[in-house]
Structures are given as structure tokens and as C-alpha cells.
């Protein structure tokens, strides 16, 4: 039976930094893959020093493109065919990031970190155990600190950052497990409506 209010139960999905919007939607189910909701301790000194030096410039130099964006595709995608597709995508930005953009991303991450205990919506966090782009312990922290009663954390040992760019059998397993967990969670939510 299909629920009449699909928008109340249809999951939102956020990858990496895009999860900030779903975290502000307490009535929705959310799926996070490789979320970067806080600045890990490994990045603390870099971000604090870098932003501290340039923060005063943000107001006057919003578009100052000085933050390098390293090529991390070989660290994100395990599947060689997927790497080729990503590298040939003309819509991927490859230039330096504007200072103001990086500053805002840092401010959002710090705000989310400060308010993790206020996260009450149902969510699923999926993370590759060998992810070197986003520290898996950050996902674990989100799971532990969030106040949500309906939450699941799934770590995939041996997988990297982009779970949908793993080898085909692993991608299939991730999708099947994600679907099973979401179906159970949404079924539980609709039975309470």
C-alpha cells in the first residue's frame, strides 16, 4: 500500500557536503554516503590556520580563487571504468575554489558539529571503511551524537569514498542493503502515521 503523504517518508539523499540541507529537514528520512558533517581532527589545524589567515579577506575578496582542489578521483572511485567516466565529465569543476565558498563550508560544518545532538530525523549513514577522503569516524560520531530514535550506521570494510563507484558486485550489495534498511524504516514510519 502506498502512503498518501509520500513527501513525509520519501528519503532525501546527501553525499559528502550536500547533507547539510537534509539535516535541516527533521520530518524526512535521509541517507548519507560518506558525509563530512564535521571537520576531523586531521583537518583542524589546516582549516583553522588557513581560514584564520584569510578570513578577513572573505568580505572583500569573495571570488578570490586560491584554495586548491586536488585530483582525488583515484582515491574516490575503485572501479576503473567509473574513473574514466568521471574524468570525462565536462561538468566537474577542476579549478581552484573561491575563498568565500571554503569559508562557508567550514562554517556550516562547525555549526552542524555543534548541533549534532539536535538531529532527530530518521537517517541511514553509509560509509566505506577504507575512505581516505572523509574520515569514517566522522560518520560514527554523527550516528552516536544524533538524538534520532531511527538511525542506522553501516560501515563497508574495504570500500572507498564513493560507494556507488565501487566494483559492480559491491555497488549492488550497497543498493540492496540501503533499500532493505529504508523500506523497513519507512514502513515503520507509515504505520505510525
Phi, psi of 42, rounded to the nearest 5 degrees: -65, -30
105-116 pLDDT, tens digit each: 777 777 878 888
Please tell me the predicted confidence (pLDDT) of residue 62: 63
> What mean pLDDT do residues 1-8 have?
38
The number of C-alpha atoms within 13 Å of 104 and in the hemisphere containing its C-beta is 12
Which tops the pLDDT comparison, 22 or 74? 74
pLDDT of 3 > 50? The answer is no
Please tell me the predicted confidence (pLDDT) of residue 174: 92
What domains sit in the chain, N to C, each tagged with a CATH number? 6-192 (3.40.50.1820)
112-130 pLDDT, tens digit each: 788 888 888 888 889 999 9
Please tell me the predicted confidence (pLDDT) of residue 172: 94
Locus of grid cell 574514466: 84
Which tops the pLDDT comparison, 62 or 139? 139
> What mean pLDDT do residues 53-77 have?
69
With CA atoms as reference, report the closest residue to 119 among 24, 7, 53.
Answer: 24
| Residue 61 neighbours by CB under 8 Å, 6+ apart | 99, 100
Amino acid at each position: 500500500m502506498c502512503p498518501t503523504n509520500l513527501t513525509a517518508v520519501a528519503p532525501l539523499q546527501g553525499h559528502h557536503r550536500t547533507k547539510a540541507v537534509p539535516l535541516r529537514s527533521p520530518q524526512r528520512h535521509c541517507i548519507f554516503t560518506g558525509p563530512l558533517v564535521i571537520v576531523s581532527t586531521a583537518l583542524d589545524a589546516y582549516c583553522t590556520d588557513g581560514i584564520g589567515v584569510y578570513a578577513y579577506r572573505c568580505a572583500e575578496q569573495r571570488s578570490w580563487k586560491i584554495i586548491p582542489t586536488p585530483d582525488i578521483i583515484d582515491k574516490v572511485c575503485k572501479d576503473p571504468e567509473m574513473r574514466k567516466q568521471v574524468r570525462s565529465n565536462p561538468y566537474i569543476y577542476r579549478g581552484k575554489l573561491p575563498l568565500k565558498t571554503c569559508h562557508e563550508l567550514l562554517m556550516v560544518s562547525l555549526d552542524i558539529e555543534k548541533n549534532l545532538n539536535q538531529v532527530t530525523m530518521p537517517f541511514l549513514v553509509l560509509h566505506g571503511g577504507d575512505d581516505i577522503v572523509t574520515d569514517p569516524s566522522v560518520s560514527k560520531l554523527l550516528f552516536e551524537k544524533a538524538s534520532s530514535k531511527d538511525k542506522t550506521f553501516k560501515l563497508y570494510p574495504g570500500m572507498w569514498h564513493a560507494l556507488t563507484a565501487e566494483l559492480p558486485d559491491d555497488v549492488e550489495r550497497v543498493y540492496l542493503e540501503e533499500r532493505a534498511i529504508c523500506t523497513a524504516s519507512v514502513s515503520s514510519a507509515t504505520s505510525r502515521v
